[in-house]
Amino acid sequence: MDLRMTVGGMNCGHCAGSVRKALEGLQEDLQVEVRLEDGQVLISGASLPGEEALTAAVEKAGFRVEGFHRG
């Protein structure tokens, strides 16, 4: 299962690492790729947490979720 999330407020490698770590902490088998150049976060795994849990993790790390795209 794949999900693409647009995240605002990321502007450096440290920001990307914070978002990746926050999302990976939700579920052991998640693969998370953060692309700073376009603010995209690609999430894949056998099953994915819900959008509410993903949003809460990103916001707790200090960033904002601007949208989700499945597929």
- 43, 32 contact by CB (below 8 A): yes
Alpha helix (H) residue ranges in the chain:
13-24, 51-60
CA 37 to CA 50: how far, in whole Å?
25
CA 61 to CA 28: how far, in whole Å?
18
Domain hosting residue 20, numbered range: 2-70
The count of domains in the chain is 1
26 token code pair: 């939700």
- Condensed to tens digits (0 to 9), the pLDDT of residues 9-68 reads 999 999 999 999 999 999 999 999 999 999 999 999 999 999 999 999 999 999 999 999
What CATH number corresponds to the domain at position 7?
3.30.70.100
pTM: 0.93
Q: What pLDDT shows up at residue 68?
A: 97
